[in-house]
Amino acid sequence: MDKIHMTAEGLARLKQELAECRAQSPKIAAEIEHARSYGDLRENAEYHAAKEAQARLHARIRDIEDKIARASIIDESQMDTSKAYLGATVSVLNKKTNRKASYTLVGPVEADMADGKISVKSPIGKALVGKAVGEVTVATVPAGQVELEILDITR
């Protein structure tokens, strides 16, 4: 069983989502019971929809429980904070487009591009990890090569 590296914030978010999912379980069970009261289950669309929702919810609960069980929290006191690391926020300059961007490096489970959180396993994340301020790195993305200069590393 492989460990999943993540930040303490990411683990807390997973635990919160697990609590929310578990709170939904009785509601879905009640929907199933209500749908059963309509009679013939073979042609009862509400019953089948509720059973599918229950299956999806239980699968999500198992997935979250597995991730929590395999979670390995990164100890920042053991990290070289002068270089980009899991949990750091890295400001970069795209040398080709001359645009600045800021990314928080997280584990694959926590990645959320809309929130500026990229996985250390992604092409850009891999290129940034271990690099210091002032270094230029090249990330190979589907659109080609991206040259990034590291402007700042913060926690």
Sign of CA dihedral 44, 45, 50, 54: positive
For the chain, what are the domain ranges? 4-73, 76-154
Count CA atoms closer than 13 A to 96's CA, side-chain side: 9
Q: How many CB atoms lie within 10 A of CB 38?
A: 12
Q: What is the mean pLDDT of the chain?
A: 90
> What is the average per-residue pLDDT within 116-126?
93
Question: What CATH number does the domain located at 4-73 have?
Answer: 1.10.287.180
Residue 41 pLDDT class (50, 70, 90 cuts): confident
Distance CA 152, CA 138 (A): 17
Q: Among 124, 62, 59, which residue's Cα sits nearest to residue 90?
A: 124
- Is the per-residue pLDDT at 125 higher than 90? yes
Q: Match 């970069």 to its residue by tokens.
A: 92
What integer pLDDT is reported at residue 4 of this predicted model? 87
Tell me yes or no: is domain 76-154 CATH 3.30.1330.60.
no
Q: pLDDT tens, 2-30? A: 888 888 888 999 999 999 999 999 999 99
Tokens of 95: 């040398």
pTM: 0.74
Q: How far is CA 88 from CA 92, 97, 151, in A?
A: 13, 24, 13
Q: pLDDT tens, 133-155? A: 999 999 999 989 999 999 999 87
Distance CA 153, CA 155 (A): 7
Q: pLDDT tens, 49-62? A: 999 999 999 999 99
Distance CA 43, CA 35 (A): 11
What integer pLDDT is reported at residue 153 of this predicted model? 92
What share of the chain has pLDDT > 70, as a percent? Answer: 98
